[in-house]
Structure 1
């Protein structure tokens, strides 16, 4: 049998959780997420953008988020982030706001706006805490009074899970260990805790044995790796430019005070030649 595909790949993740035939898998995952956050479970879920063959990652700009709606009209968006794209908090608020405001058509009242929930599953650490599941709402700082319940953002950080500790009861951690890629030797325990996980595992095994799916997966995996490398490189270059700019500003101030060039080079980190060039301008 072929090695299993990585369920954290957003293309594979959507095949498992975002297809009409696996709506029960998505519902079970959502309910463990909401119950852990103290929210009531759902009885039914409607997929707004179910997976189709058109979602195949031939287009590098494909977005494999999962959008769903509850029976009461609340909107849920789930996104898997295999690599750090940076500014995830601003990106999350931007897409949440588009989803929220996009509900209204011209002439409709604001009261018709429904709650929007964003669930980000991150394959890296982001928040300065030790929680693998953090939930954000809009509340008053001192009293904790909610301004509105319409905004709810979940940050799930797989990197904060200890995959060596296998749970002995049901709950979200079982699903997250599966996504993180825990050894198949532990799958039986996870499915005893969360029976619907078996269908997710069966789907992953089926996809892993399909040659065309594996080809598309490799295509998507390469794009994600390349994109992550490009973003990291751009960020490092930007930081380097920022440090150089700071160094030149310090050097210019010291030059204005008549400080010795060798001393300026030592303090700023610039070379003496760079300081001399600044002096001549």
Structure 2
């Protein structure tokens, strides 16, 4: 931790839970969720984050944050620091737990309350969605191209794609995303973030207000975060030339197979010459 830092880094486990994961600060989480999900949550209850399978042999999951609103709707809020294999599969698997826990014994009509998974990503997917800031996913009727079931929602926030400056902030959603991405770099509260909810957010995040045990926990959490980032950056640099071409070709092949984008659009997405993508399509590479 450098002496210049004034506020916690919300991408650390400690920082994220300090900001959003405690009963006194649930109004911050409600404000954030209301803005990014376009809801009107008036009350949240934190629920246990560790969930066991049906038997001792089944895999357990541990959510970063898990809560329920006044209507019984469930919210999984996850912070993901690094890209991992089958992350989308993992999201779906996690969502099955708040679905299954709604089952009632005896006579039950299977009516479910909505389940929302919000994933705040410190990376971007390596597919056609990698340039999107927000990805909102529901079950869709492929033929009619409309939502088939609106009670299961996955919202992915690819934070590297949030690039607005303070002067460009317009909505409360903009301001929340700006705070998440830049909080640990700030020395003062930005003029655009004067809403009451941000007064509390900045007070909560101030490093000088942490007690000794919190400071130790934060420094440990920050060290882990930096170690992960440094390892990823090193691996990326070392494998850049060796693996980049093969990875790019595989990505283009998948995009072509989906058939949703033109060759020109794929070339633009992958930042590759049009001729290269055409050769991949013609299996000349």
TM category, shorter: 0.5 to 0.7
Question: 2:101 & 2:235 partners in 1: Cα distance?
Answer: 32
TM-score by length of 1: 0.68
Alpha-carbon contact 2:122-2:158 (below 8 Å) kept: yes
Q: Which residue of the partner structure matches residue 88 of structure 1?
A: 87
Task: Give the structure 2 partner of residue 275 of structure 1.
Answer: none
Whose Rg is larger? Answer: 1
RMSD: 3.4
Looking at secondary structure, tell me which structure has more helix per residue: 1
Q: Which residue of 2 aligns with 1:17?
A: 20
Aligned residues: 224
Q: Give the secondary structure class of the aligned counterpart of 1:31.
A: helix
Change in CA separation of 1:227 and 1:168 when aligned onto 2, cut-off 3 Å: closer
SS at match of 2:201: helix
Maintained 8 Å contact 1:2/1:209:
no
Does 2:197 align with 1:221?
Answer: no
Q: Tell me, what secondary structure is at the counterpart of 1:69?
A: strand
Contact 2:35-2:173 at 8 Å conserved across structures: yes
Structure 2: how far apart are the matches of 1:100 and 1:231? 34
1:94-127 Cα shifts (integer Å, max 9, x gaps): 1011221122144352523211100000011126
1:87-236 equivalences under 5 Å are 87-107=86-106, 109-126=108-125, 128-164=129-165, 166-182=167-183, 183-184=185-186, 187-192=189-194, 194-206=195-207, 209-224=210-225
Deviates more, 1:120-129 or 1:206-215: 206-215
- Answer whether contact 1:167 1:174 (CA < 8 A) is retained: no
* SS at 2:72 equivalent: coil
C-alpha separation in 1, matches of 2:107 and 2:235: 43
Counterparts of 1:122 and 1:189, CA distance in 2? 26
CA gap of 1:64–1:141, structure 2 versus 1, over 3 A, is closer
Q: Would you say the 8 A contact 1:5–1:214 is kept in 2?
A: no
What is the match of residue 9 of structure 2?
6
TM-score (norm 2): 0.67
For structure 1, which runs of at least 5 residues remain unmatched after alignment? 51-60, 244-281
The structural deviation recorded for 1:82 is 2.0
Indicate if the aligned counterparts of 1:78 and 1:119 stay in contact, CA closer than 8 A. Answer: yes
The answer (yes or no) to whether the contact 1:122–1:156 under 8 Å persists in 2 is: yes
Contact 2:162 2:178 in 1 (8 A): yes
Structure 2: which 5+ residue stretches go unaligned?
A: 50-59, 248-285
Match of 2:75 in 1: 76
Shift of 1:49: 4.0
Q: CA deviation at 1:67?
A: 1.1
